Amino acid sequence: MSKFPVAIVGVGNMGGAMALNLLACGWAVQVCDVVACKAQNLVQFGAVAQQNVAQAAIESVATIVCVVDSAQCETVLFGSQGLASVMQPGQVVLLCPTLAPQDVESFAQRLAERGIAVLDAPMSGGPVRAREGAMSLMVAGEDIVFERMKPLLSALSNQVFHISARVGDGARTKLVNNLAAGINLVGAAEVLALARAMGLDLAATLDVIEQSSGQSWIGSERMRRAIAGDLAPRAHMTLLEKDTRLAVQAAQALGFEGPLGAAARDVFAQASAGGMAELDDAALLQWLSLK
């Protein structure tokens, strides 16, 4: 496998896990985060920590952007010390956050004007899978760029899906996936809150669900932690609040209205506003049990 220098901007739960995976595989990785200690913590594993985005990206063939939302992407890409200020034609940006498709398209167009290629590459699976190189990557972008980045994509994930050559389709696929995840998670939390109200043992109930027709990966993963009282944030409540909101907005723009998406969106919004924004989204069980 041909390895080349990589930068990762944003090394929180997911970006940090991706960095650890690449470093363990022998890649040269520069890291940067607005919280400097997150980047500095990766130095012991072989990363080079940089103080700003431009320093991290200037000598990298590919820069992975792993921040939270479009506003942060705007700053990372086009701020005073952003990627666009230093990257040269031929370098590649991988956009990994969950974003509105139109924002991805806009970012890609503005970078293309500078000769900088973009892969629309949102991810799914959580930090543990990212650390193991087993998360999903939904990649959209020109075939020639995809082929150039294939060694990196394969190192990041053993589940790489090349959605299409149209930047924005990765974002569309991710919104569809995350709306399903949000609906499933609300459903899992609701039925376990009901089980609690019925006086059932929650762990035993989840054992049954996991081997029966109600099983879902996100329901099992999150509810096991919720039952144990482990609400340390792997995925903050606000992330699925944002993702379900973006998904419903995308549906509404098409004139599509389903029965469950908006309801799931509202649950995440209410839980976040109700004091659970900084908790893991597994806290939905606690939220619904209080209602």
pLDDT in tens, 206-232: 999 999 999 999 999 999 999 999 999
- Considering the domain architecture, whether residues 181 and 51 belong to the same structural domain is answered as no
Last residue of a domain, one of 167, 201, 236: 167
| Residue 2 confidence (pLDDT) | 86
Query: Is 174 part of the annotated catalytic residue set?
Result: yes
- Considering the domain architecture, whether residues 205 and 260 belong to the same structural domain is answered as yes
- Considering the domain architecture, whether residues 188 and 72 belong to the same structural domain is answered as no
Domain with residue 181: its CATH number is 1.10.1040.10
Domain with residue 155: its CATH number is 3.40.50.720
- Considering the domain architecture, whether residues 158 and 219 belong to the same structural domain is answered as no
Classify residue 255 as exposed, middle or buried by CB count within 10 Å of its CB (0-12, 13-18, 19+).
Answer: exposed
Q: What is the mean pLDDT of residues 109-126?
A: 95
Last residue of a domain, one of 167, 190, 224: 167
CB-CB neighbours of 197 under 10 Å: 10
Domain count across the chain: 2
Between residues 125 and 42, the one the model is more confident about = 42
| Residue 206 confidence (pLDDT) | 98
Q: What is the mean pLDDT of residues 36-59?
A: 95
Residues 70-99 have pLDDT tens digits of 999 999 999 988 999 999 999 999 999 999
- Which position among 3, 174, 242, 291 bears the catalytic label? 174
* Domain carrying residue 80: 6-167
Residues 143-157 have pLDDT tens digits of 999 999 999 999 999
Query: Tokens for 62?
Result: 């590919």
> Rounded to an integer, what distance in angstroms lies between the CA atom of residue 178 and that of residue 240?
7
Does any domain span residue 222?
A: yes
**Closest Cα to residue 92, out of 126, 120, 55?**
120
What is the rounded average pLDDT for all residues in the chain? 96
Does any domain span residue 276?
A: yes
Does any domain span residue 1?
A: no
H helices present in 101-142, as ranges: 101-112, 127-132
| Residue 290 confidence (pLDDT) | 84
**Closest Cα to residue 188, out of 173, 174, 205?**
205
CB-CB neighbours of 216 under 10 Å: 18
- Residue 113: pLDDT band by 50, 70, 90 thresholds? very high
- Global confidence as pTM: 0.92
Last residue of a domain, one of 122, 148, 167: 167
